[in-house]
Amino acid sequence: MKTWLVLSVALAGCAVDGLDELESVELSEEEQAVRASNRLASNRLASNRLASNRLASNSLGAAALTSSALIETVDGREVFSYIVKCALPANQSVSVADSAGTSYEFTGEIGLAENWATKTPTVAERRWVTACLLARTNYYGVPVQISMRGSHAALSATHGETSVFNVAEGAFYGDLFDDREQSWFACGSKRYTTALAADAQRTCTISQNGVTTMCGFTYTHFCGTALDPTHPAACGNSKTPWTTCSGGGESWSEVITIFLPY
């Protein structure tokens, strides 16, 4: 039995889902990847950062109590929907009501922190969901097919997927749910940044100032290749997917690498 999985990357606010406009990739049902359209805009994620960190103190089902700003606005609910998609598997959902009593249901998709539905998340769960949110964010309003990979079991990929999505774009990591200090990091693949950037439809690993990426994430330079002596490689392993990367004076093991089809 074959399953058709369409992988599309985060879109800007004016974009549409566009699932039927994308080229489908035939993958076996065992292959894991993003299962639906990604529409998280970088400006919406940025404007809801402060509201997101309050989620760390409770379950996703109690979001209206701990982070009401995410539930009260359209932009906030979009960000919250992607938090749920990253955290919970496809067979789980949470219902949250706003202050007017309107109830909204949010369905999971990937399953990086499934216990967060009813419990306070662990540090590792917060970081996996952060990496997922950053990886599914884009500056442009165009659909792009992606493959998300990492050491988490929910991000496994078999040969069919790796052969189609064969160019690493970069890696994402951090903790948007830390109530002391939020962090969001991105490093870029040297090949993608130097050779393919002119044709790039994703720019969250590309920096124009050497400090932040075009999506506003803290830029940690090249992932697996040293840029110069003052900027060592961000990640400890040279081969992709990258599994341990540095940022903010800390080592992060909850890392998601994005691969693109070239």
pLDDT at site 200: 66
pLDDT at site 38: 54
pTM (predicted TM-score): 0.85
Alpha-carbon gap, residue 44 to 195, rounded angstroms: 29
pLDDT at site 64: 65
pLDDT at site 221: 93
Q: Which amino acid is at 221?
A: H
- In order along its 262 residues, the chain shows pLDDT tens digits of 322 233 333 322 222 222 223 334 444 433 444 433 456 888 889 998 888 888 888 889 887 666 677 888 999 999 999 999 999 999 999 998 888 889 999 999 999 999 999 999 999 999 999 999 999 998 775 677 788 999 999 998 878 888 888 889 999 999 999 988 999 999 999 888 877 665 667 789 989 899 999 999 999 999 998 777 788 899 988 789 999 999 999 999 999 999 988 7
- Among candidate residues 44, 50, 121, 108, the one with its CA nearest the CA of residue 77: 44
pLDDT at site 27: 45
Instruction: Provide the b/e sequence for 77-108 (b: ≥16 CB within 10 Å).
Output: bbbbbbbbbbbbbeebebebebeeeeeeebeb
